[in-house]
């Protein structure tokens, strides 16, 4: 799920009844690091939904606000809201130009939402986006299957591994849990 977005890593897992979503803090402009402590993971809809985004910041914030509007319209139904956002994103001329991807999760579901109309729910309860996404997702899956760590510890360790491998991912990590 790496697509063409670089400059970040977002990882979401559901493990042992807990959800943890993590994002690194590095922001790059071309080949230069311009910020180390950006918060790319946040809570929306009365703190019941956690979103993380990769891509252009303004575009990601726009999508986050649009998802929150959908959640309000559909009484917090994340599945319906994600599908409606993806449908709008794919068909609206303005939205189609947005360069971002999003992970949205609640107490029951995790979705990757993209401008291609994708609303993907992972089979294993683990999904990642961004340049370090493959490394973070692989590390998280290994830790789930071969450790006794809880969800928060797994995302922390997996993000550390991703930061060691991906030059666009740093060790400053924001983690939100449900």
- For residue 150, with 0-12 CB atoms within 10 Å meaning exposed, 13-18 middle and 19 or more buried, which class applies? middle
Residues 139 and 144: their CA atoms lie apart, in Å, by 9
CA atoms within 13 A on the CB side of 76: 11
Q: What is the DSSP letter of 52?
A: E
Antiparallel, parallel or unpaired: β 27-29 and 18-24: unpaired
- Which residue reads 């579901």 in tokens? 109
Annotated catalytic, 160? Answer: no
Options 8, 9, 169, 174, the catalytic residue: 8
Backbone angles phi, psi at 153, to 5 degrees: -65, -35
Residues 160 and 149: their CA atoms lie apart, in Å, by 15
Q: Where are the beta strands (DSSP E) in 16-166?
A: 18-24, 27-29, 32-35, 41-44, 49-55, 100-105, 110-113, 119-120, 126-130
Q: Could you give the residue numbers annotated as active site?
A: 8
């Amino acid at each position: 799920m790496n697509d063409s977005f670089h400059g970040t890593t977002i990882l979401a897992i559901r493990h042992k009844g807990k959800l943890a979503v993590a994002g690194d803090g590095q922001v790059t402009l071309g080949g230069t690091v311009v910020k180390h402590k950006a918060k790319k993971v946040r809570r929306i809809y009365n703190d019941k939904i956690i979103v993380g985004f990769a891509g252009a910041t303004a575009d990601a914030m726009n999508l986050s606000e649009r998802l929150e509007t959908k959640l309000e319209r559909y009484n917090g139904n994340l599945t319906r809201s994600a599908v409606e956002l993806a449908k709008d994103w794919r068909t609206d001329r303005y939205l189609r130009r947005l360069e971002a991807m999003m992970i949205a999760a609640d107490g029951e579901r995790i979705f990757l939402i993209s401008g291609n109309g994708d609303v993907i729910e992972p089979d294993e309860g683990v999904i990642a986006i961004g340049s370090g996404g493959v490394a973070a997702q692989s590390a998280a899956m290994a830790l789930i299957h071969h450790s006794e760590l809880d969800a928060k510890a797994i995302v922390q360790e997996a993000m550390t591994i991703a930061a060691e491998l991906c030059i666009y991912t740093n060790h400053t990590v924001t983690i939100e849990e449900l």
